Structure 1
Amino acid sequence: MPLPSTVPQLLLIVVALLPGITYQLVREHGRGPVPAETETGHRILRALTASVVLDSLYFAVLGTHLVELLRPASYPARTRDAALHALLLLFALPALGAALLSWRERRTLRGRYRPTPTAWDHVFRDRGASFVRVRLKDGTWVGGWFGSGSYATSYPQPPELYLQSTWRMAPDGSFVARVDGTSGLYVRAEDIDILELLEPPSRASPRPDGA
């Protein structure tokens, strides 16, 4: 597709895209990302759909007044008027509409919606230091310490976990002793059967299982 070569063509593209982009960004901020919108193509399609709806409403309400503002002959005499309309129609109204829709959804949904996209993100977001015990799908127990040097990926990246220290585990899943000479433990969520977080032990119980 050729690039716009005139001011009217550029204005037309801006009018066509910006309302939907603004609406989409505010909606994502209010409800959090959803799996259906992980692909860029889907997000662009939703933004274009929102732009078509909003632009149709604008022209239905403002009609010839909006057409006059888009004509090159109206510049520079009506530059300020056009800028105010652009701020209102391209940013303020789409953002307000998205915010109101998100607010209405939160009030009507039976369960409280959290913008955190997955349980994995909810568990590890703002997570303090703790021991982590993992049973893999093959029945093997692994575990370690999740501290300031550890890391958990977040959506939309695949769930993965890095524990900064590794512990030797007993067959029943209890912690035995820290493994020296290692740089940590890497675990993929797709290999996990059960994951458990244990609160940091007290000084009286230096072992993670309190023994």
Structure 2
Amino acid sequence: MTIPTTAYAVAVFLVLVLPGIVYGVVRATVSGNRPHDRGWTPRVLQAILVSILLDTVYLLVLGKTAVSWVTEGTDTLRAHPRLAALAVLCLGLLVPALLAYLRHGEPRWREARAIGRFPVRVPARGTTNSPVPTAWDQVASRLEGRWVRIRLSDGRWVGGWFATKSFVSTYPEPRDIFIEDQHHIAPDGTIGDPVNATAGVWVSLKDGDIVEWLYP
């Protein structure tokens, strides 16, 4: 496959391939991830198929105009740069995004206020599905300023103070957690004194490990 190098070739490539990519991103955003979305192959195939379908429709609608844009090359881009940019914006971004939203979303409206006083109705997500793959990804990184304790599958406890220098990994990486201030944990789960000279502790989480966050 030849990599496009000229500005015109890049623009044509975007119009041909971008619709499928945009469609997939918007679909996942409005309707949530499906099980097979976690693999690259189904997502690439979907992007290719959607791009082929939309490009065929564009060709049917625009006819000779679309052919002339491609065959005349950089002359068209130099003569009508704004028209070329508008084509990429509409055909590559807006049309596939709108189709994905209408096909997979459940449009609902909520009231928002512009500049604090004028009510405006804006679209809101109308699906219970979430683009966030797991509950861990949704909340784990937001729970700063709390105690955290982990009961490992072998019965041991690890924990400490989870704050701004702490960190958790999220999808697609395996779950792990860095606790910046490690404390001793009693067999009953009681959090005790800090570990001497602690600079933090890293834990690779396995199935069966239980992570708890506690208010101070």
TM-score, normalised to structure 1, is: 0.75
Q: Does 1:184 align with 2:186?
A: no
**Distance change in 2, residues 1:11/1:198 (3 Å):** closer
In the alignment, which residue of structure 2 is the partner of 1:154?
Answer: 170
**Ranges in structure 1 where 5+ consecutive residues have no aligned partner:** 201-211
In the alignment, which residue of structure 1 is the partner of 2:159?
Answer: 143
Q: Root-mean-square deviation (CA), in Å?
A: 3.1
**Ranges in structure 2 where 5+ consecutive residues have no aligned partner:** 108-124
**Distance change in 2, residues 1:172/1:93 (3 Å):** same
Identity of aligned residues (%): 38
Q: Secondary structure at the match of 1:116?
A: coil
2:184 to 148, 151, 168: 168
In the alignment, which residue of structure 2 is the partner of 1:94?
Answer: 96
Structural mapping, 1:184-203, within 5 Å: 184-190=200-206, 192-200=208-216
Q: How far 1:20 moved relative to its partner?
A: 1.5
Q: In the TM superposition, what whole-angstrom CA distance separates every residue of 1:111-143 from its partner, at most 9, and x where no partner exists?
A: x22332211112223223111111101111222
Counterpart CA distance in 2 for 1:3 and 1:128 is: 45
**Distance change in 2, residues 1:6/1:146 (3 Å):** closer
Q: Secondary structure at the match of 1:115?
A: coil
Q: Secondary structure at the match of 2:171?
A: coil
Counterpart CA distance in 1 for 2:151 and 2:7 is: 62
**Distance change in 2, residues 1:77/1:178 (3 Å):** closer
Q: How far 1:79 moved relative to its partner?
A: 5.5
Q: How far 1:183 moved relative to its partner?
A: 1.2
Counterpart CA distance in 2 for 1:173 and 1:6 is: 63
The size of the alignment, in residue pairs, is 197
* Contact kept in structure 2, 1:69 and 1:78, CA below 8 Å: no
In the alignment, which residue of structure 2 is the partner of 1:208?
Answer: none
Query: More strand by proportion, 1 or 2?
Result: 2
